[in-house]
Structures are given as structure tokens and as C-alpha cells.
Structure 1
């Protein structure tokens, strides 16, 4: 792995600093580099995926929507598997995706700086970045690609309970540590169902407790005889590549630029509809022996010796060795503590998320947010890997247009190296 750990000297400058080296940060880096925009990228490659996702997890995104966006589409999943000499799996293991992300980083951001950015401050028309080792750095623009870490949602019933007994699903990578323990998984989405399956397969005594019924994402072409007949004629043409949300909203999700023009209320409704807690159908058979308490709310939870006792809304009590909160994430700008408080206070928000322009720029000029932080402004696609190309293209256009970026390389104008949408990519490149 070719990573520079101390390549930034105090007083160095660049046009764009990217904080975060996951799929979104790397996609933005690839696009800006292709446009000859001077950048610096900070963070450990794929760190959230490596440290906060359970071993054995399979990605739910379809193959065509899981490539990290590359403007010349030279570094796709297909290319990684071909170069690594690995067979293409039916379901993509998280371990392979982490390796793919690292492989991608080595090609588009070989000078990645792994030192932590500890504070970002507005300074002289741009931003001053303070690094963990005391170095500082100036950038005209900053792209916050910091992902989900520190934004996990913990229901208030579990406030104050020790982490040794109540933890969030993102805090564990090894399910075998719970072998022989009685574990209650709280939630009903993909994370809850897959965590329960992995715990069960690792030898834990697992149950799922959720306030609604489990909802399964089935192939939309298989839900009725009519749709089966239509799909037999049209193939996969009826299925959008990213497959986010129910039909027909899943096609609208593919157009975040259009969604950006919706009212806040309309975007909220779309996000609620398309990001509802669901699990992929292939998990259901792995949960056949896992009891599910559906439609149950937890009134309170308390420590009972070395266990947790929970009272449900039907009056029953559950005593377990551990509670695993698979309750998702809620992005909140106030939790982004690397942003200096006065800078944070200047950021306009909606529901805790930054309000963004068409170029993913916040109300603080030059400060951009991508990934889940952009869902309130651009819709559900930005929660998934498939949205990274759109975000990267928009930011690149803004960086070029503001006069601070260098000219695009000899490949021609921006359209000549534009990362294709998943739909266009699906049309001209098939999965092997």
C-alpha cells in the first residue's frame, strides 16, 4: 500500500482538501485529479468499512451500482477482480470491497495522507486544516467525506447503559465474540437482519426485537404474474441499476439533480419512502431459526447485574447478555467536531443535515459535503455508493468553474472523462 503519512508541511496549500478516503472521498479525488485540480486527500483508506462493518457481511447493492466512481471508468470492480485473479462472487463480501477500495486508492490517490485532521477553521477566504501531529494546511475548498462514523443512532431507552452490555452494530467486526451469549438485536433493516444472521451462525442465541414488521426487498419483477410476464419480455429494463426504493420511486432516485429542485417537504417524503428499514430477500432463509418479536416497542431498559433487562410494550420482560443496536444513523452537523464551532454554526441545515447547493456546497462558501450528509438535499441515492459519481462530477465542475483550478488535461472537456451513471454503465459493460 503506497500511502504518504507525512507529506504535508505546515504552510502547504492546495485547491481542494478532501477529508475522508472511503468510496465518496476517493471518487471525488479521482474526478478532481482527472481535471488537473490540485488536491490533498486525508484519511485511512476504507477505514469505516474496515473497522466498523462485520466480517462476513455481503453488500446489498447490485454489482453495477457498487463500482467506486472513476471518470474514465478504468478502475471498476470488474478490473479489480480480473487483476486479482479472483472469481466473481454472486454476493460481494465486504472483505473484497475493502480490498477493492484500497486497490482503487493506490491508483487514484497514491499520495494519500493518513494523518487525522483534527480541526477545520475558516481562514483568509479558505480553510486552515490542523493535523494530529501539529502540522497545518491551507485549502481553498474542503470536501467533507467523513461518512457515518460518530453519527450512529442510539434510542434514548438505552442512554447511560454500559457499552459492554449495549453497543451499536458498527462497533463490532467479529461476531464470534458473542458465541454462547443471548443477544437481542434491535432493528428491522438490513443491518439488523444481517447482524442477527451472522451472530446466529457464530453460535450466539439471537432474537430480533423491532417496532414494525420485517419488510423484504424482493425482485420487483417477481411480485406479480403481470410483472413476471412483462419482465420476461423486457428483461431488466424495468429495474433501475441502483435499486434504491420501491417502484416507481426507484427510477426517480436515479436523478438526484432533479430531486435537488424539489421542496424540502417533498424530498423528506421521498427519503422516508425510499430509505425505510428493509432487508434483502436472500437473508430470510438465514433467519429461519432466529425468533423475531415484530411490532414490539421497548418501554425501558436497565442493567440487571451483568445483563440487560428490557420491558416491552406488551408488559413482557426480556433479559439478555447483550443488546446490539442496529438502529441506523442520523447525520448531525453538530457531531462533526473537526469543524471549528463558529464554522459549524454558520452552516444552514435541515433536520441536522447541511443544506447544499447544486455543487454540494454548504452555506459556508467552499465547504462541501458528500455521502449521507447530502441526502436531505439530493435524495436517497447519496446514501449509497452509487451516488458518489454524481457528487464528484458536481464538485469537479464547481472547482473548475471558479477559476482556481487548472485547465482540464489534454483528454478534452469535462464530458470526455465524465463518469457514466450506473444506467449508462450497465448498458455498455456487463458483469462477467
Structure 2
């Protein structure tokens, strides 16, 4: 029986596995490494976060993004966006060098068993572990506006459904949303020859500014420090002090997690949108129906204006909603007992353990507990170290006869698996 089964092999899952193995735990990690970046984002995208805020986490901080880039003759520089493909390759490099071997099968079910849990893989094998960490990313939590949910996937899709956008060359596409995913998707569509427009519920687009220089006068840094979520003291608190964030009142935490860092486009995509994409502001879809040529959308604005447009396909870039009910891989006897917060997500304790003993959670689903950083790669470092300490505490409180690993003392191997 394993000490820890990690379900998910993205930045959070790989980071947890790395910390767990270094702590001496017998760890097994499941999932296609970096699947969201490799399989669900179109070519040509860039990472919105700064390179230094996009590291996966190992205990010795050896396998950083800048180290990977330097080994390939390039530089991870502040203020220079990292291509998506490079970040995905970095994650694979991290998996080879800093984590236990990854079992690339998907897990379809997590169920309780005497002394822990049993996970079932896509081919029917069962594996047992004393504890489980769910690091399943965002894909189970895709959010599509209610007016569009009844339409065929041939007509409506989510931005995370596309590894490339080639199928839309020369076609008319409407993108829903005002955040980075919507705006960058629209820019890529326009640049490949699609006829594209963006429907935005707000009355204006928001754009992130060019980040201030990394080296600057001390008084500027004091007034607006750099952080993993952007400059400013509020962002610094969200990104660098998630343990303190958790001490806020639960309604306050849920509100901040839902509203902080709202939809905005990166500074480097602004010109591409403004020069090539039609943007329709103050438009919310009230009704959608299939037509002979695609989809007819009825819209309304807060100012009372109404409109109609027809398009061949709708791509919704309307985010993700992490709730208990969407954790379909959990057996009902586990899922049904999870205590939830105001946002419907399972509550987690100080070390990311859910209300079901031995079941830990990571990533987006913990944002209401530990803050907006959990929506980004930057949160993986705090999560991995804290969660693994929690696993060790849970093992210490387990049945008599359980062996508690002492932790690894030797240095990480010097051999780089490229």
C-alpha cells in the first residue's frame, strides 16, 4: 500500500509528488503530465504569469523554469512572456528529474477502503493508498453559460477544448468572455484568417499593465512590491501569504477568491486584439438556438439594449467553477460527506486536508481556502510543502503499525534526465 496517491500530473500534482518523495513517502502519481497545457491550449499561446512565478516546486528549488531555459540556450526574463510549448516542455523535464515516475493512466474512481483509499484506473486496475491528493486541475470544472448548454459541441465549445484552432480557419466564430483566454483565443483566430468577434458582459475591457522593471529604486519596490500575481501589496498578500489568507473569515475568503484578479488581458495581447478583433461590449446572451448555418444568439445589455447575431461556432472562455458536485471521480460515500463552503467547493484545513480524513486537495478547488494564488502555477510551491506535511501528520495519526517515513536526507541526483 502506498503512503500517498497523487491524482493529477500537472504543476500541482508533480510538485506534490516531488515533495512527497523527498519526505520519504512511498508515492504513486497518476495522469498525463502537463495535460492541460499539452492537450487543451492552442499553439501560439503564451504564459500570462512571469517566468519567475511559474516554477514547479521541488524541495531544493533545483528544477526551476530559468534553469530549464538556460539549458536550452534561452533566458527566462522578467517581462518577457514564455511560450506555452516551452512551459509544457519544462513541466515534462521537471517530471523526469524531480518527481517519481508518472503512471500516465487516468484515474476514474477514488473510493474508501479499510486503512485508506482505492483508486481505479481507466483500464480497470485498482491501487491502494493510505492517503490521496486530488490535483486534477481545472478541466473537470469547465463553466459554459446556461443559455448555451443545450447546444451541440459542434456548435458550442469551451476554450479549454482546443489543442489547436485550425478547424476554424475561414469560419465565423464568436468568443464569449473578457479575460485572457477569450482575448488571446480571439487574437489567434483572427491571425489565422477566421472572422471573429468577442462578446463581453462588461462595458469595457481591462488590460494588465507592462510589469515594472525587476530592478528599480527601493521606494518604488516598497510602494508596489513584485509578487507572483503582479505588483502591489494586495497581490503580494494573496500570492505570498496564503497561510495568513486562510485566517480571514470564510465569507471574506470566498468573496475575494471569486472577485480578485477579475477578467483582464495581458499587455502583450492588447494590440493584437485592438487591431484585428471586433469587440462587442455590454452584451450578455439571453437565448441561443441552432440554425442551418450555425448558432443564433440573442443578447441584452445592462443599459437595456438588445441584439441578435448569427455565427458558425461559439467558443466560451467563461472560466471554471470548482464545486463538490463536479468531483465525479469521487465515490458518493466520499463526495457526499465533504463539507463545503459558501462557493460550493469542499472546505480544506490548514494542510489542505478535506473533511474526509486522508483526502487532500490542491489547485483551483482550494482557492476559497487559500486565496487566488491557488488558481495559478505560483500556488504550487506553498501547496506542495504544506500538503505533504499534512500527509505525514495524517500518517502519524493512522492505525498502529503504520510506518512513518523519516524523510530523505541525501541530496537530489546530479544527473539531468533531458
After superposition, the C-alpha distances for 1:46-65 in whole angstroms (9 at most, x for unaligned) are 11211111111100001111
- Residue 157 of structure 1 aligns to a residue in which SS? helix
Equivalent-residue separation in structure 1 for 2:121 and 2:334 (angstroms) = 17
Equivalent of 1:352 in 344, 347, 362? 344
Distance 1:409 1:33 in 2: 8
Q: 1:182 to 1:33 in 2, by over 3 A?
A: same
Distance in 1 of aligned mates of 2:321 and 2:228: 22
| Among candidates 227, 236, 241, match of residue 255 of structure 1 | 241
Once residues 383 and 88 of structure 1 are traced to their aligned partners in structure 2, the CA distance between those partners, rounded to angstroms, is: 22
| Structure 2 counterpart of 1:300, from 282, 287, 301 | 287
TM-superposed CA distance for 1:373, in Å, is: 0.8
Distance 1:268 1:121 in 2: 28
The alignment partner of 1:216 has SS state of coil
| Aligned mates of 1:85, 1:220 — CA distance in 2 | 24
Out of 10, 21, 24, the residue aligned to residue 9 of structure 2 is 21
RMSD (CA atoms) = 2.0
Q: Structure 1 residue 25: deviation in Å?
A: 0.3
Report which stretch shifted further, 371-380 or 76-85. Answer: 76-85
**CA apart distance, 1:219:** 4.2
Task: Tell me by how many angstroms 1:132 deviates.
Answer: 2.4
Aligned 8 A contact 1:50 1:98 in 2: yes
Q: Which residue of 2 aligns with 1:59?
A: 47
Deviation at 1:109, TM superposition (A): 2.8
Secondary structure in 2 aligned to 1:279? coil
Aligned counterparts of 1:100 and 1:247: Cα–Cα separation in 2: 28
User: Any stretches of 5+ residues in structure 2 without a counterpart?
Assistant: 397-402, 413-418
Please say if 1:381 is aligned against 2:373: yes
C-alpha displacement at 1:80, in angstroms? 1.1
Matched, 1:141 2:136: no
Alignment equivalent of 1:84, drawn from 72, 77, 90: 72
Q: Is the 8 A contact 1:176 1:203 kept in 2?
A: no
> What is the count of residue pairs matched by the alignment?
393
Q: Shift of residue 349 of structure 1?
A: 1.0
Whether contact under 8 Å (2:4, 2:25) holds in the other structure is yes
Q: Say yes or no: does 1:102 pair with 2:92.
A: yes
User: Within 2, Cα distance between the matches of 1:339 and 1:234?
Assistant: 50
Residues 397 and 61 of structure 1, relative CA distance in 2, 3 Å threshold: same
**CA displacement at 1:20 relative to structure 2:** 0.5
CA apart distance, 1:178? 0.9
CA distance in structure 1 between the aligned counterparts of 2:147 and 2:339, rounded to whole angstroms: 30
- Which digits, 9 at most, give the CA deviation of each residue in 1:310-369, with x for residues without a partner? 111122211111111011111122222111111100111122211000010000000001
Q: C-alpha offsets along residues 129-176 of structure 1, whole Å, 9 cap, x if unaligned?
A: 122233211111000001111211010111211111111111112122
Cross-structure match for 1:337: 328
Which residues of structure 1 form unaligned runs of 5+?
A: 1-12, 223-229, 418-432
CA distance in 2, matches of 1:130, 1:220: 45
CA distance in 1, matches of 2:31, 2:81: 28
- Which deviates the most, 77-86 or 155-164? 77-86
Return the TM-score normalized by structure 2.
0.89
Question: Aligned pair in 2 of structure 1 residues 183, 261: CA closer, same or farther (>3 Å)?
Answer: same
Distance change in 2, residues 1:67/1:157 (3 Å): same
The residue aligned with 1:409 is 408
Q: Does 1:287 align with 2:273?
A: yes
Find runs of 4+ consecutive structure 1 residues off by over 4 angstroms.
219-222, 230-233
Aligned counterpart for 1:70 among listed residues 39, 58, 68: 58
| CA separation of 1:375 and 1:137: change in aligned 2, threshold 3 A | same
Q: What is aligned with 1:189?
A: 179
